[in-house]
Amino acid sequence: MAEVPELKESLQESLQQVIHLLDKHKLIEDLVHKQELDMPKRSLVESIVHKQNITLLQKKLDLLHPADVAYILEALPLAQRLDVWELVKAERDGEILLEVSDAVRQTLIADMDSDELLAAAEQLDTDELADLAPDLPTDVLHELLDSLDYQNRERLQSALAYPDDAVGALMDFDIVTIREDITLEVALRYLRRIGTLPDHTDKLFVVDRHDILRGVLPLKRLVVNDLDLGVAEIMADDPVVFHPEDLADDASKAFERYDLVTAPVVDHNNKLVGRLTVDTVMDYIREEAESDMLSMAGLREEEDLFSSVWKSVQNRWTWLAVNLVTALVASRVIGLFEGSIEKTVALAALMPIVAGIGGNSGNQTTTMIVRGLALGQIASHNMHSLLKKELGVSLLNGLIWGSVLGVIAYALYQNITLSIVMTAAMTLNLLLAAVMGVMIPLVMTKSGRDPAVGSSVLITAVTDSGGFFIFLGLAAIFLR
């Protein structure tokens, strides 16, 4: 039996073996180059060594599941990745391209010519093509569209027309339909004639002659009911259905809420146009969770671990630039109080504490709100109680930590006024952090933006500038 720990070990082992073979390959190549043999002899040795290695590596790779080859490709730096890709791409490139992440896929496609890409595409179903299509060069895509029959071309074009976050972009077309006026016996005979059912088929779609959805017949019900019964009698006539233009996010929540494995996708006339499966939904959930994590850290999009320095700089510069501007604003706030700092230089040492803890506390609040918004738990009716709670938490934290800091500040500088200013500034900055921590994601949502993107940078900006202003302002007033 294929046991998971073994699977995993063998996956790590496979990776190690591939790397070992690649290293050996490189080592021998280097040796050959160093010995400076005359050209013909050198290329002879090279070609023998090369062939031996290649055969070993190829054997290894041929045994692996496409998902596992994809894993190895993701874990290899670019040069080695392309060496491996060269070896596998002839046979299973289509499947493997589907399994790798977007960023890695681009590096692989860049290494293929038009013919190779077309050959890869031909191995795939229409819905799989739709996943691949956005990364293909335009001329290849056109040639591909020409090579499809009418129905598949229609499907591909309509799938491409939907945005990435719509059900239409995620659905597939592996649907098995039956009529409602037959008996289970006839249905089973029909299935036996088909021979195999698509992956994840847990239900048959019951349609009329115009493909209008009438209900669904779970296989579970098909196998436990009397063969004389009619499909109409035992089908579920109130299934959860989706429309191609529904948001993938809502669909994934419905899959979780109602524990679905597959669900029909219908157009506005209730005509069956495709189906959504749990594996696609699961991939979508994973990708969304990752992209939320990346965007909270100010990375614009998914980044290949080994993408070039220049590409990474482009991916990351936007938020660094935003951060630069907010840092400059904070710096100018400090600039306003240079006089006070010159008089009491301790202010310079203490001010980052007030700003930093405000930022941390504000981020905690924002994260709670972003999560509540994502789960749909926050609306106008409970904003008031939320804000009240967060203000309470901040007041308590401000008084506790502010007092601790007041005592520490006194121990360091023996200035009681400075201590009190410190405590007051901490408390006020935490209250500011609470208000902004609630408001920033709410305002972003209201204005139609994703509250996960950049909330963290914005809240830090406010608590930095605000913290400096409050602390230095109070100091300027009370420490003359």
Q: What is the DSSP letter of 248?
A: H
Name the segment binding its own copies (CB under 8 A); options: 38-46, 135-143, 156-164, 244-252: 244-252
Each residue 258-277 as x (binds its own copies by CB under 8 A) or -, in order, gives xx-x----x---x-------
Which of 51, 220, 271, 449 lies at the binding interface for its own copies (CB under 8 A)?
Answer: 220
- Give the nearer residue to its own copies in terms of CB position, either 169 or 386: 386
Give the pairing of strands 272-277 and 262-266: antiparallel
Subset of 105-144 contacting its own copies (CB under 8 A): none
Give the count of alpha carbons within 13 A of 393, CB side only: 17
Calculate helix-pair angle for 66-75, 78-99, nearest 10 degrees. 150
- Report the alpha-carbon distance of residue 100 to residue 381 in Å, rounded: 43
Q: Does 170 interact with its own copies (rule: CB under 8 A)?
A: no
Are 214 and 244 contacting, i.e. CB atoms less than 8 angstroms apart?
no
Closest distance to its own copies from the beta carbon of 125 (Å): 14
Does the protein bind its own copies through residue 179 (CB under 8 A)?
no
Positions 52 through 71 that interact with its own copies (CB under 8 A): 65, 67-68, 71
Which of residues 51 and 332 has its CB atom nearest to its own copies in the complex?
A: 332
How many residues comprise the chain? 480
Q: How far is CA 115 from CA 47, 119, 203, 388, in A?
A: 26, 6, 38, 63
- 331 near its own copies (CB under 8 A): yes
Residue 191 sits in the site that holds its own copies (CB under 8 A) = yes
**Residue 177 in the binding site for its own copies (CB under 8 A):** no
Name which position in 2, 38, 146, 210 contacts its own copies (CB under 8 A): 2
- Nearer to its own copies (CB atom), residue 201 or residue 419: 201
- The token duo for 398 is 């401000």
Nearer of residues 141 and 296 to its own copies, judged by Cβ: 296
Cα-based distances in Å from 460 to 327, 359, 421, 463: 10, 5, 21, 5
- Is the Cβ–Cβ distance between 287 and 165 less than 8 Å? no
The tokens describing 40, both together, are: 């013909």
Query: CA torsion sign, 443 to 448 to 449 to 451?
Result: positive
Q: Which of 13, 30, 62, 226 binds its own copies (CB under 8 A)?
A: 226
Six-digit token pair at 383? 């904003």
Q: Is 278 in the site for its own copies (CB under 8 A)?
A: yes
Q: Measured between alpha carbons, how far is 116 from 93 in angstroms, rounded to an integer?
A: 9
Phi, psi for 349 (deg, rounded to 5) = -75, -30
Distance CA 278, CA 172 (A): 11
What is the footprint of its own copies within residues 338-367 (CB under 8 A)?
338, 341-342, 345-353, 355-357, 360-361, 363-364, 366-367
Please tell me the distance from the alpha carbon of residue 207 to that of residue 243, in angstroms, as a whole number: 16
Interface residue with its own copies among 58, 177, 183, 312 (CB under 8 A) is 312
Min separation Cβ 336 and its own copies, Å = 9
List, in sequence order, every residue forming a beta bridge with 217; answer none if it has no partner.
Answer: 204
**For its own copies, which stretch binds (CB under 8 A), given 82-90, 122-130, 140-148, 376-384?**
376-384
| Footprint of its own copies on 384-423 (CB under 8 A) | 385-386, 389, 392-393, 396-397, 400-401, 404-405, 408, 412
Give the residue with the Cβ less far from its own copies, 42 or 60. 60
Site string for its own copies, 197-216 (x = CB under 8 A): x-xxxx----------x---
Stretch of residues binding its own copies (CB under 8 A), selected from 122-130, 140-148, 158-166, 189-197: 189-197
